[in-house]
Amino acid sequence: MRPENLKTKIFLDGGDPIETKEAIKLLGFLDGQTTNPTLISKNPSAQERIRKGIKFSKKEVIEFYQDVVKQISELIPKGSVSIEVYSDTSTTAEAMVSEAKEMFSWIPNAHIKIPITKEGLKAAERAVSDSIRLNMTLCFSEEQAAAVYSATKGALKGDIFISPFVGRLDDRGINGMDLISNILKMYQQGDGHVEVLSASIRNIDHFLCSIWVGADIITAPFKILKEWAEIGFKIPEPSYLYGTKGLGTIPFERIDIDQKWQQYNIYHELTNKGLEFFAKDWNALIE
């Protein structure tokens, strides 16, 4: 069951409802789940179909995604399920909003994942006016987080998540946990309507440090949740020390979060690479 002193919400990062059931049984609770095109492409049913040489039509792959998230939603009806719009570097805000509206209608507990790009922020602004809950994804900088805060003003607390990707920054030799800490600190000057979701969790240290710094939410693959269970659902003490393993630091920037989102420098190479990665996995399913 949930540890009494655990304030951070725990999500499973995955695209297989069977794994969702296993996570609930393992933890005794689950606050939500995040999905994306790559995770859906790794779903055992999708993989079996591809192994047989049978690809999906565009209509079929959307129906498959819808069926998967419906199954997950039924398992965690009081939690959140993140569903990601298809987007690459050329996808327009209009296309994202249209798909977001459709996906938001699939289940009652959806958060729609939209990338932190110029078009994505345009889409987010419009989606908020339509009361669509969002998970702004592929975050790699404080300025991107400031832009998300600005673009989603007026949303209720709990309706907007932002997902900084810890592991992908670590891959570049930079301490991704610094970004989580910096965004949390920056948001202290705001109204609290954006919740920080620690994503791209690669190891138990990422998981524990995310709890320690006060992330609102952590999404982690099943293997990390299992490792956490094996160490007795450990909650880090105040004296906890995170081993940075020689990673470079990300200094805190003092950014005014009350500017218009268009004033921030939101470009980040890793955001574009992430879009390419997800689009490639999604397109590999389609005939």
Catalytic residue positions, numbered:
113
| Phi, psi for residue 210 in degrees, rounded to 5 | -60, -40
Q: Residue 279, Cβ neighbours under 10 Å: how many? A: 18
Question: In whole angstroms, what is the distance from residue 202 CA to residue 186 CA?
Answer: 24
Sign of CA dihedral 163, 203, 253, 88: negative
Question: In whole angstroms, what is the distance from residue 158 CA to residue 230 CA?
Answer: 30
Residue whose token pair is 């789940």: 33
- E strand or H helix that includes residue 141: none
Sign of CA dihedral 257, 258, 264, 266: positive
Question: In whole angstroms, what is the distance from residue 168 CA to residue 172 CA?
Answer: 7
- E strand or H helix that includes residue 175: none
Contact by Cβ (8 Å): 42, 35: no
Question: In whole angstroms, what is the distance from residue 229 CA to residue 183 CA?
Answer: 28
Q: How many helices (H) and strands (E) does the chain have?
A: 12, 8
